[in-house]
Amino acid sequence: MTIETKMTDPRTADEMQAAFAALKAADAERLAEIEKRGAADPLIEAQLARIDRQLSQHRAALDRMALAQARPAIGDDRREGDPEHKSAWGAYLRKGDDSGLARLDLKALTQGTEAQGGYVAPPELDRLIEARLMQASPMRQIATVRQTSATVFRKPVGLGAAAAWAAETGGRTETAAPTLDLLEFPAAELYAMPAATQTLLDDAYADIDEWLADEVEGAFAAQESAAFISGDGVNKPKGVLASTIVAEASHSWGKLGYVASGAAGAFAASDPADRLIDLVYAVKPQFRANARFVMNRRTVAEVRKLKDGQGQYIWSPGGANEPATLLGYPVNEIEDMPDIAANAHAIAFGDFRRGYLIVDRQGARVLRDPYSAKPYVLFYTTKRVGGGVQHFDAIKLMKFAES
């Protein structure tokens, strides 16, 4: 029996070698019993059967490992934890040595790109940046975030099919075909260029991936936050407020509805909290269960002063791990929401998880530049992000106007 020793995990090969040695010993003992007594001991037969099963299991495991190694990666399905790529990536960041990255099978691993475009970061760094952005970006915390390997993420949306009642034996007429809408979310390029000293890069104890993720977090989060609220969709995500906005009475698919505050650039002089109640109930019941208010801190300061008919504040401060609530719904502060002003849509309410989609294209890209800002080393880091409203019934706005 031939045992292959070219394995990914040496422990599996060692276990198989040990099982094979035990099989040989047990088989020799079995043959000796047959020669001596004319029949094999049943205990030896059982031992042989058990060892044979172990060998079969090890062989199957080795076959699966060989297939996994031979399988080519598809798209952005990169092999995580690849020590060769990790070592080459570290040499590139610290010393600018890209020979290790250039030697990799770039077509199979999709790890690299042309010299002027830098190199695609390992999956670990990509996830590290995304985790930092999740903590820093309030919109990412309340919206749906999807990963994609495509330049444009397309989402078909069913707008409902026609239905009709009929008697048990009555005739059925053909109903209208379901209506579909195709939403497209193109991923635009977001970039930052943090700088490091060579001393930092030479420090063996410094985690360069952590440092890079920290540096790009603030720059990326600020740009993303603004785009998710008011981005026009041109080379950036399309924000909530960039949608077509109409009075709630005229609302239809593809548009966001608004409720008027009752006064130009202010809340209504009498019973201002009633308009917030109108805003809450402009959202359908299925979206209210996970709904929340979104506004900036200056609007929060105004809303916190509102009282009900009994003189009680309608705002409830949050506890240690609980958010503040308004009319029983949590409030998220996003600084990029507009201030209260004439015709401004300064308050949003709804289920943002179902209402807004953020699309991250996998693969942050890093280009090391030691020349443009000597003695500093620049790291031109890019990431592709898209976004837009995905359900126009889930979010409503308050417009600070009489009507």
Q: What pLDDT is stored for residue 287 in this prediction?
A: 96
Tell me the pLDDT band of 120, cut-offs 50, 70 and 90: confident
Give the bridge partners for 358, in sequence order.
Answer: 145, 387
Average pLDDT over residues 274-298: 96
Domain boundaries, the chain: 10-70, 121-159+177-403
User: How many C-alpha atoms does 314 have within 13 Å on its Cβ side?
Assistant: 20
Amino acid symbol at 219: A
User: What token pair was written down for 123?
Assistant: 């999956």
Pairwise CA distance, residues 196 & 69, whole Å? 37
CA–CA dist 92, 370 (Å, integer): 12
Find residue 215's DSSP bridge partners: none
| Length of the chain measured in residues | 403
DSSP 242: G
- 381 or 319, higher pLDDT: 381
CB atoms within 10 A of CB 241: 21
| Three-class SS state of 323 | coil
Architecture of domain 121-159+177-403: 2-Layer Sandwich (3.30)
**Radius of gyration of the chain from its Cα atoms, rounded to whole angstroms:** 31
61-70, 79-88, 194-203: least confidently modelled range: 61-70
Q: Which amino acid is present at 55?
A: L
The rounded percent of the chain whose pLDDT value lies above 90 is 45
Distance, CA of 305 to chain centre: 37
**Whether the Cβ atoms of residue 342 and residue 401 lie closer than 8 Å to each other:** yes
Angstrom distance (rounded) from CA 92 to CA 118: 10
Per-residue pLDDT at 103: 64
Q: What angle do CA 352, 355, 357 make, to 5 degrees?
A: 90
CA separation, residue 252 to residues 4, 258, 289 (Å): 66, 12, 22
pLDDT digits 0-9 by tens, 138-157: 999 999 999 888 889 888 87
